[in-house]
């Protein structure tokens, strides 16, 4: 009787091990809104390469750039619903999940990326990565995309030059106030719509990083760039 039970257990174990060996890999959907040839895009592709190399056969990473899966307005909702598993959104996206993260939208808070790195690698910066865990969102790391610059349909040499202009901004209360402070008119618009918005005059200017300006060909529809390093 004992021998039969041991045989049955061994048989069950062999099926279990076989099932584990032949199990389908875990699929990780990684979505972002910028092009592959930006720092964020390159980071996502490197994550895919390393994850699939180091967890060979166990993990499959699908990268969706350029808002091809979810755009600015839907990606956080998709993350919470489990329709996507990893994102690399700008920090402005988190204002509804942890108010403290709005600190990153304050203009001229950091002199340069080295100063931002110093803060983010310290205890306060690391704590902000964990600030959304009660909302089922875990910050894994900070990825830099460069300092933000301004573009417009006219030169911006002094704050008064921005008066009356319509600037595309992300959905952020702090960014709204930033442009209102110089008497400009902020307009919330998804990243994928920026080029057309600038081309048609729906907005007169925007703020972004050099890599995003280049990959989205913003220079084709904006004659002036201001190297402001303001965010």
CATH class of this structure's domain 148-226 = alpha beta
Give the list of residues 6+ apart from residue 75 with CB closer than 8 angstroms, or none: 31, 33, 84, 87, 89, 93
Question: What are the extents of the domains in the chain?
Answer: 10-89, 148-226
pLDDT at 18: 46
pLDDT computed for residue 186 by the predictor: 97
pLDDT for the residue numbered 72: 84
> What pLDDT, on the 0 to 100 scale, is given for residue 71?
86
The full 3-state SS of 182-210, as one line of letters, equals CCCEEEECCHHHHHHHHHHCCCCEEEEEH
**Measured between alpha carbons, how far is 122 from 117 in angstroms, rounded to an integer?**
8
Residue whose entry in the numeric block shows the structure tokens 């004659």 = 223
SS3 31: strand
pLDDT for position 19: 47
| 197's tokens | 């918005």
Q: Residues 167, 186: contact at Cβ < 8 Å?
A: yes
Among residues 218, 223, 224, the alpha carbon closest in space to that of 196 is found at 218
Instruction: Answer positive or negative: Cα dihedral of 190, 192, 195, 201.
Output: negative
CB contact at 8 A, 147 and 112 = yes
Please state whether 138 falls in left (phi above 0), alpha (psi between -120 and 50) or beta: beta
Radius of gyration for the alpha carbons in the chain, expressed in angstroms and rounded: 23
pLDDT number for residue 139: 95
| C-beta neighbour count of 107 within 10 angstroms | 17
Low-confidence ranges of the chain (pLDDT < 70): 1-22
Instruction: Enter the pTM of the model.
Output: 0.81
Beta-carbon contacts of residue 102 (< 8 Å; ≥ 6 apart) = 95, 172, 173, 174
pLDDT value of residue 22: 60
- Confidence (pLDDT) at 21: 53
pLDDT at site 23: 80
pLDDT, residue 122, reads 97
């Amino acid at each position: 009787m004992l021998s039969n039970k041991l045989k049955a257990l061994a048989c069950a174990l062999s099926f279990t091990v076989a099932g584990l060996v032949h199990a389908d890999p875990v699929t990780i959907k990684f979505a972002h809104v910028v092009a592959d040839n930006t720092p964020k895009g390159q980071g996502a592709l490197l994550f895919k390469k390393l994850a699939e190399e180091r967890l060979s056969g166990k993990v499959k990473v699908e990268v969706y750039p350029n808002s091809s899966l979810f755009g600015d307005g839907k990606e956080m909702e998709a993350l919470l619903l489990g329709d996507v598993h990893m994102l690399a959104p700008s920090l402005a996206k988190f204002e509804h999940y942890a108010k403290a993260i709005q600190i990153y939208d304050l203009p001229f808070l950091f002199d340069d990326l080295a100063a931002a790195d110093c803060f983010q690698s310290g205890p306060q910066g690391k704590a902000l990565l964990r600030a959304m865990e009660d909302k089922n969102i875990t910050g894994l790391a900070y990825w830099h995309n460069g300092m933000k610059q301004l573009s417009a349909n006219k030169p911006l040499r002094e704050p008064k030059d921005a008066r009356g202009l319509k600037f595309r901004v992300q959905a952020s209360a702090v960014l709204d106030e930033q442009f209102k402070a110089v008497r400009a008119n902020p307009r919330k618009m998804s990243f994928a719509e920026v080029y057309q918005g600038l081309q048609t005059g729906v907005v007169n200017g925007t703020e972004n990083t050099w890599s995003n300006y280049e990959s989205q060909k913003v220079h084709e529809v904006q004659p002036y760039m201001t190297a402001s390093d303001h965010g």
